[in-house]
């Protein structure tokens, strides 16, 4: 049965042709231009970056994300998250979390001066 099916078809079926000459397409009309101003990103010194990035083992990491905190969290939250992680993680992972903590600590000390 399988032999009859595979040899009984009689060749390759050519693909169907797409004829767009009879299609009823309308060219897009130009609508009156609505001026929408893109929001600008301030370059002033008042602009604050909440994320803290650090390099560890050849990769760049967001320190707040590593500790499971929202960007810009205050130092008491960072310390509480660090204590929680230190109690749960293995000894070989501790330097990674300590590097994240130090990066946030340095950023907060630098920004408070």
Question: Is pLDDT of 91 > 50?
Answer: yes
Residue extents of the structural domains in the chain: 49-113
CA dihedral 40, 44, 47, 48 (to 10 degrees): 140
Residue 109 binned pLDDT confidence (cut-offs 50, 70, 90): confident
Q: How much is the pLDDT for 15?
A: 82
> What are the DSSP E strand ranges found in 21-106?
53-56, 59-62
- pLDDT of 6: 56
pLDDT digits (tens, 9 = 90+) for 26-85: 666 655 555 455 555 555 556 667 889 999 999 999 999 999 999 889 999 999 999 999
| CB distance 70 to 79 below 8 Å | no
């Amino acid at each position: 049965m399988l032999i009859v099916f595979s040899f009984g078809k009689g060749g390759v079926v050519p693909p169907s042709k797409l004829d767009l000459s009879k299609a009823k397409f309308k060219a897009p009309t130009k609508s009156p231009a609505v001026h929408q101003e893109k929001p600008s990103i301030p370059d002033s010194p008042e602009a604050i970056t909440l994320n803290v990035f650090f390099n560890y083992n050849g990769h760049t990491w967001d320190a707040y994300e590593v500790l499971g905190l929202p960007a810009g969290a205050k130092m008491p939250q960072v310390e509480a998250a660090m204590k929680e992680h230190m109690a749960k993680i293995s000894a070989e992972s501790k330097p990674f979390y300590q590097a994240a903590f130090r990066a946030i600590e340095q950023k907060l000390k630098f920004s408070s001066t």
